[in-house]
Structure 1
Amino acid sequence: MRSILAQTQLFCSLTDAELAQVESLGILRNIAKGTILFYENDVVECMYVLLEGRLKLYSSNDSGREFVYHVAEPGISFGELALFCDERRSICAEAETDCVVMSIHKADFMSLLLTTPELKDQMLNSAMKIIFSLTNMVRDFALKDVYGRIRVLFERLAQPTAEGLLIDEQMSQQDIADRVGASREMIAKIMRELVAGGYVETGRKRLVILKKLPEQF
C-alpha cells in the first residue's frame, strides 16, 4: 500500500516515515463493482485513495441521466478538498470494477496537515489542478459541440502504441455520452462516421485512434 501512496499526487513528496504515518491512519475497504461509496449530499467524513480497481465520480438527475467528471485509477486521491468546508458531498462515487480504497477520517487528516508542511503544499497544488481542470471543462461545454468534446476526451485518454493511439479503457457508447454530456444516439452516429472514415478502430474492449482526428465533424 505504501508504494501506491508514494505515487499519489497528494503524498508523493512525503518521506518514508511520513508515508508510514499516513498508512497507519488509513482504513482499507473492499468495494464490489456497482457499489456506491458515497452519494451526493452525504455528510463529508473522510478522504480516499483508490488502491485497486476503477471508480467513477459523477452527478445524476432524477431521471437517471449521469455526467461523469472523472474516472479514477489506482493511485488517485479524492474527496480531500471537501474536508475544508461545511458543505455536503457534491458528487457521487461508484465502483466501476471491484475496488480497494483507503479512507482517512477528517480529524486524522487535519492532524496530519498540521504536522506535515509538505502535505499542505501538495493540497494547494491539488486544488489548483482541480480548478484548472474544471475551468477547461466549463470552457469545452460552452465553446465546443459534442464532437469537439469527444475529440478532447479521446486525445486526453489515448496513449501512443505501435498500432496508433490506444485508449485501453472499456467505454461503451453510453459511457462516452455520460462523460461528454450527450445522448447515446448522438455518440453512436459520430462513432459510426469516425470508424467509416478510418479514424478509429473499436473492438476487443478498447479503441485505437488510427490517424489524427478531424478538427470538425
Structure 2
Amino acid sequence: MSLIDNEPHSATVRAEVQCDVLVLGRPEFARCLPENSSLSYAIMRGLVARLRAADRQIESLALLDVYGRVARALLDMSEEGAEYKLIRNKVSRQDLAKVVGASREMVSRVMKDLEERGFIQTQENGSVHIMERLAHR
C-alpha cells in the first residue's frame, strides 16, 4: 500500500524460515503499470484508502473499549472546522452502535458522558461538534 499512497507501512512481515525476498521500489512499480498510469494510481489510491480505513476499523474493534470506538467513529465521521470538528448530518445512536459493535443503549450512555464532560456538543439540528480536546486524545 505504501507504494501507492506514500503512507507508512500498515504491517510488518517476519519470515518463519530463511527465504529470498524481492523488494519492489516505487520507480520499478510504476514501470510495471500500463501507459495510463495516472488512472491506475487514482483507482489504487482509492482502494488503498478504503483498505486503510478497514484496517483502522478492525483495530478499533479489537483493541479499543466502547468509549474509544465511539470517539474514533465520531472523529472519522467529522470534517475539520475552525474551532472544532463537525459532523453535519444527524447520526442515529442505532447507526453508531452498528459501526462500533455495541448496543444502542451503551452508545447513548457514552454519548451522554462525552457531552457532560465537554468532549462533544450535540446541536438541535442533529449535528455534532467535536471539541478539540477529544480530537487530541
TM over 0.5: yes
Structure 2 residue 58 is the aligned partner of structure 1 residue 138: yes
Structure 2 residue 25 is the aligned partner of structure 1 residue 119: no
Q: Which residue of 2 aligns with 1:181?
A: 101
Secondary structure class of the residue paired with 2:89: coil
Shift of 1:129: 2.3
Change (3 A) 1:123 1:177: same
Unaligned runs of 5+ in 2: 1-33
More helix by share: 2
Secondary structure class of the residue paired with 2:68: helix
What fraction of aligned residue pairs are identical, expressed as a percent? 28
Secondary structure class of the residue paired with 2:128: strand
Q: Which residue of 1 aligns with 2:127?
A: 206
Kindly report structure 1 stretches of 4+ aligned residues shifted beyond 6 Å. none
Letter aligned with residue 207 of structure 1: V
CA–CA distance in 2 between the matches of 1:212 and 1:150? 15
Change (3 A) 1:124 1:171: same
Q: Which residue of 1 aligns with 2:75?
A: 155
1:195 pairs with 115, 119, 122, which one?
115
Is the CA contact 2:70–2:110 (under 8 Å) kept in the aligned structure 1? Answer: no
Q: Which residue of 2 aligns with 1:26?
A: none
Query: RMSD across aligned C-alpha pairs, in angstroms?
Result: 2.4
More strand by share: 1
